[in-house]
Amino acid sequence: MASAINLRSRRSAAQLTALAGVEREIRAQDSHSRRKYLREFNQAFTGYDSVLDSQQLQEALQAADIVLIGDYHALPAAQRHAATLLEQRALAGDRRVVLGVETIFARDQHILEEWWRREIDEGELRQRIRFDLDWGYDWTPFYELLMTAREHGEAIYGLDCMPRDNLRKIGARDRHAAAKIGEICEGHPGAMVFVLFGESHLAPGHLPRALRKEIPGSRILTVLQNVDALYWRAAGERADKVEAVRVGDDVVCVFNATPLEKYESYRLFLDQWSRCDTGPDFAPTIYNLIDSLASFLEINRYSPHNSTQPKFLIDMLPEVHGNSSDAVLRRLLSRKGIDETLVDSMLASVEERGSVYLPQVNAFHIREFTMMHAAEDAARFLHHACRGLPQRLNGHRPNQDSASAANDFYRRVIENAVAYFGSRVLYPARPAYDDSAAPPLSRAALEKAAQTALHASSEKFEVTLQDWGYRLGEEIYKVYLAGKVKPRGVRRLFLAHLDSPGTARRVCTAVIARLRAASR
């Protein structure tokens, strides 16, 4: 009878020869495989305790509260097996099931929920979560997983955050995902939570450790798929086909593809990406502007708590629509109940500036990139995000009561001020704002301007808002350059909550007083 070593050799010889060439090609195009984080995954799983049959695998799943499923993104069998596991547990009927996925950023949860409610179709979902631009793997098996979860599950959640291409930040992504899974467990008590995440995140010291720290006492099962070392060892088993193995008390590995199949699928994607020819993608540029300004202001994008920082700013990043038609923009805004007059005004702004930030839908609409306006709108977004993304209409509304109108005036003066300041920081080449013909900055002058604007036309109202906002922003920039205010001091202005009656006016008054004192 053949020994385990002989069986392993005979079953694997031809595949190993073919695999060597594929791995050489992959290493030539992708150097990440040598990074410490990925090595830690490969070194964590080199052997297993026992072979599992189907019944034993189901028993292991049934005993868990959270099932972490390792995803080899380029392999459709990995996503389809996740769908099968979720469906099997749902059909068992003993517990409700919820799905969390790495593929969708947590910031895009609102888009996923629109699809869940059948308000948007498959094509719009795929476009707005930037699947092909940000992910780039096969859409069909992933969409099948989403459909399975919508048919059999209670909810679906996006778990990931930026940046995906920076392994130095990968630990922060693990901690962020753990916090999101904790929120899911809290929002769906008693449900079994399935999580599909890249396999390298499932090393014991990576996401599982962060999750155990986030939810002590939770029963977590890690389901690996097609781990190379375990596959080659299982090839020596006498069984014709090994379905799964138990790696440890809380780790199993299932086999639904060969290593050659895995790496050939990845090589094909590398080849496809190298030949990809698409139009400009503005999103990385916008996100880089936001990230740079946040770093300047000493804002922690991954802060899990609201205090002197916004909670998980990384999850509030806006959608970025580049080269989108006006019809797409109108459709997005109409879902928020924005009237046509305001939509026309926004489209005019895009025409004039090349781009615009729309807080009503937390999105950028870009036709032509200009650094000055993009930098200003990046700062405008950050101000809204620091305040919790309030959904407010921009524009003077004549039927407002006087108190609300006055508060809106002062609130938007501050918004324009921080937007202008942010643009000067990100784009110092922007010309200084010329206010030589204006009266000196003072509380009395601002209040007089407010009273005049509140009784003027909408156009005059907007002009006054911009004039006073830019003047304040220019003065803040000057005292910053003079070293009389530090970035964290400006951060307090970004974080100021301005919606309570009278608050925005008091903040404006305090800023003017500080600027006048600093200029003496």
The better pLDDT of the pair 357, 239 is held by 357
161 pLDDT exceeds 60?
A: yes
Please give the biggest Cα pair distance in the chain.
99
- Same domain assignment for residues 196 and 155: yes
Structural domain ending residue among the three candidates 252, 274, 296 = 274
Q: What is the DSSP letter of 505?
A: H
Domain extent at residue 204: 4-274
pLDDT tier at 358 (50, 70, 90 boundaries)?
A: confident
Domain boundary among 228, 252, 274: 274
pTM given for the model: 0.83
Return the CA Rg of the chain. Answer: 27
Give the span between the Cα atoms of 426 and 449, in whole angstroms. 29
What's CA 73's distance to the chain center, in Å?
A: 18
**Secondary structure letter of residue 67 according to DSSP:** E
Co-location of 352 and 265 in the same domain? no
Strands 192-198 and 97-105: parallel
Q: What integer pLDDT is reported at residue 393 of this predicted model?
A: 41
Please state at what angle helix 503-519 crosses helix 458-481, rounded to 10 degrees.
Answer: 40
Q: Are residues 169 and 192 in the same domain?
A: yes
Split at pLDDT 50, 70, 90, the class of 349 is: confident
Task: Check whether residue 94 and residue 180 sit in a common domain.
Answer: yes
Query: What does the pLDDT look like over 429-450, one tens digit per residue?
Result: 889 988 877 888 888 988 888 8
Which residues does residue 100 pair with via DSSP β-bridges, in sequence order? 157, 195
427 pLDDT above the threshold of 70:
yes
Q: Residue 354 has what pLDDT?
A: 84
First-to-final CA distance of the chain: 95
pLDDT digits over 6-41, tens only? 656 655 655 566 566 666 766 666 555 667 898 899
Tell me the pLDDT of the chain averaged across its residues. 87
Q: Answer yes or no: are the C-beta atoms of 223 and 67 closer than 8 Å.
A: yes
322 & 230 share domain: no
Token pair, residue 3, equals 């020994």
What single DSSP character describes residue 432?
P
Number of structural domains in the chain:
2
Enumerate helices (H) and strands (E) in the chain, giving the number of each: 20, 11
For residues 236 and 204, give the distance between their C-alpha atoms in angstroms, rounded to a whole number. Answer: 26
How many residues are there in the chain? 520
Say if residue 392 is in the same domain as residue 509. yes
In a shared domain, residues 209 and 303 = no
Q: What angle do CA 464, 361, 301 make, to 5 degrees?
A: 95
> 75 and 182: one domain?
yes
Whether 128 and 252 map to the same domain: the answer is yes
- Cβ(166)–Cβ(105) under 8 Å? no
Query: In terms of domains, do 305 and 339 share one?
Result: yes
149 and 27 within one domain: yes
DSSP type of residue 395: S
Q: How confident is the model at residue 327 (pLDDT cuts 50, 70, 90)?
A: confident
Spatial distance between the Cα atoms of 169 and 246, rounded to a whole number of angstroms: 31
Residue 392 has pLDDT above 50, yes or no: no
**Could you tell me if 261 and 389 lie in one domain?**
no
Peptide bond just before 284 cis, omega within 30 deg: no
The two structure tokens encoding residue 352: 């004039």
Domain boundary among 256, 274, 292: 274
Q: Is 130 left (phi over 0), alpha (psi -120 to 50) or beta?
A: left
Return the CATH number at 171. Answer: 3.40.50.11550
Q: For residues 185-201, give the mean pLDDT.
A: 96
Residue 516 exposed, middle or buried by CB count within 10 Å (0-12, 13-18, 19+): middle
User: Quick one: pLDDT at residue 394?
Assistant: 42
Distance separating alpha carbons of residues 129 and 112, to the nearest angstrom = 8
Task: Judge whether 387 and 498 are in contact, CB under 8 Å.
Answer: yes
